Amino acid sequence: MPDFHRAADVHEAIALASTFKREGRYDWFRGQLQNWPLKSSFARLAKDELEQAREKLGRFWHWVKATPGMESLGANVAAFSAVAQHYGLPTNYIDFTTSPEVAGFFAADNPKGHLLDAESCIVCLETADLKKFWANMPAKYPPPRFIGLEVPNLWRLEAQEGCFLFCDCANFEHIYDLDRIIFPYTGPFPGIPRSKIYPLEKSALEIALDQYFMNEKLIAGTRMVYSLSGFREASHMTMEDTGGWNSDLVSSPIPTDSSWDKSVLAKWIQADPERYSHVSAGPVLTISFLGQVDPSSLHRRIESKVLSDLERNPSLRTQSVRWTVEDAELLTGRPNLPEALSRLWNGVRILPYTPDQIAHCIGRCAALWAAWEGQSSDDIPFMRAASTCFGECLEIEFGASDGSYSRSFASKRTLAKAVRNDVSPYLNPRYADQIHGNIVGMLQAIQDPSLLFDFSRLADAFVREIAPFQVLHRRSDLAVFYSPARLDRFGLP
């Protein structure tokens, strides 16, 4: 029979679990908002949900195998499953933690504000006892596996001190009893901020994962539209692969520009492993407007500050930076500048940009924010801000082969300077005079960035204009691209 320990609230439950851990009674813990039986997310699915779950997991596996930079994840099934589990894809992994405090957080985590009429609990497990117990089980019962692994750049797993019990037995507790600490739900556990459990900072892996999950949102949206009566038949069409250029405007196939060599791109895709405990220990940098928000002067001041900090302390790039604003009242009615700067810093610091480029990038983001005026659901305020900071500009759209995409504004002059030097011979002579030197015409003619642009010059445009704009304009759950290396298309919306 399982042992049920009673506690008055989550604080007492955590204290009791901590005592049990010190005494060596239990080593793994799991917080549950209610006292549910222990089942994996896959085992909890209804029959009609199983096939959709398998399809979703299959799409994720295909994405990992097809996406540059995901090679190590694709070579490790346990790491792949850990990422899937942490991002809500159904698996036979069951989340545990070695931290009683983290277990207490989840046992009291009620973000949707459900009215609870049942008790919360912390499930307590002694892994050595479970191993010993299962050694005597018949062979027809596959033994559970205890997975305590580090997935490089999966900061959620590290922050939650996570581990996993792999079990494909739907009724695990019919075989093995699990002890519990039971307590009434009295509200969230304040001892751990939510940002500690779900870090606001994103690693290189987590930035790339935004591409996959954005595409999942697009798939879900498409299915919903197709479910409307008669839509599928009325809207069915076949899209022809044009090879990345418009055959009416380009007279002959264009080779990939030599600047897009795979050895060059690898430096912009492969990310070194980083521990969240180190990255998150970065400094706090304060922005002060001194009562004035002029885009140009703000840009210069912040750029100078960041460049000075980077030159004085090159290791600053190995850590996140928390940005604060002294004149907080100036944040009203505009995008969240500290959040945007944090996203931008973590996106560009890990790439082979120079300190000058990074400093310019941070300063430019602040300038765009300062130039943004008014509140509107459309892009007009952003377009005006881009024009103020970039000069004559245009809206562009770009994306990866997985279907994820983003949009930005960029200077026509900057984009034109990024065009490769030898593109003219490939243009249709009939239209060459109209297209050459006209960036709008160029983007209409050629949509594959590796065929149109010099990589280093396009990367410079990304860090100085395109990335700063995206973090202000894009929600944090949508894909944001910080360099061209992951793109396979680039053009007009």
Confidence of residue 238 (pLDDT cuts 50, 70, 90): very low
For residue 235, being part of any structural domain is answered with no
Crossing angle of helices 10-22 and 100-107, in 10° steps, is: 150
* 169 shares a domain with 252: no
* 223 shares a domain with 111: no
For residue 237, being part of any structural domain is answered with no
- Nearest Cα neighbor of 89 from 184, 246, 209 is 209
**What does the pLDDT read at residue 231?**
54
The model's pTM is 0.89
Cα separation, 116 vs 127, in Å, equals 31
* 220 shares a domain with 189: no
Q: Compute the average pLDDT of residues 258-287.
A: 93
Cα separation, 322 vs 312, in Å, equals 18
Structural domains in the chain (count):
2
Last residue of a domain, one of 144, 179, 199: 199
For residue 232, being part of any structural domain is answered with no
* 148 shares a domain with 248: no
**What does the pLDDT read at residue 341?**
95
With a CB cutoff of 8 Å and minimum separation 6, the contacts of 195 are: none
* 286 shares a domain with 214: yes
With a CB cutoff of 8 Å and minimum separation 6, the contacts of 72 are: 79, 152
Q: Compute the average pLDDT of residues 122-132.
A: 97
* 300 shares a domain with 181: no
Confidence of residue 140 (pLDDT cuts 50, 70, 90): confident
**What does the pLDDT read at residue 228?**
64
Confidence of residue 229 (pLDDT cuts 50, 70, 90): low
* 220 shares a domain with 173: no
For residue 147, being part of any structural domain is answered with yes
Cα separation, 184 vs 186, in Å, equals 6
Percentage above 70 pLDDT, the chain? 92
pLDDT tens digit sequence for 50-72:
998 999 999 999 999 999 999 99
Cα separation, 347 vs 341, in Å, equals 10
* 221 shares a domain with 170: no
Q: Compute the average pLDDT of residues 380-385.
A: 82
* 195 shares a domain with 301: no
Q: How does strand 162-166 pair with strand 4-6?
A: unpaired
* 217 shares a domain with 183: no
pLDDT tens digit sequence for 68-100:
999 999 999 999 999 999 998 999 999 999 999
User: What is the extent of the structural domain holding 21?
Assistant: 4-199
Q: Compute the average pLDDT of residues 374-382.
A: 60
For residue 454, being part of any structural domain is answered with yes
**What does the pLDDT read at residue 294?**
85
* 405 shares a domain with 422: yes
For residue 234, being part of any structural domain is answered with no
* 68 shares a domain with 10: yes
The two three-digit tokens of residue 244, written as one number:
């990345």
For residue 236, being part of any structural domain is answered with no
For residue 233, being part of any structural domain is answered with no
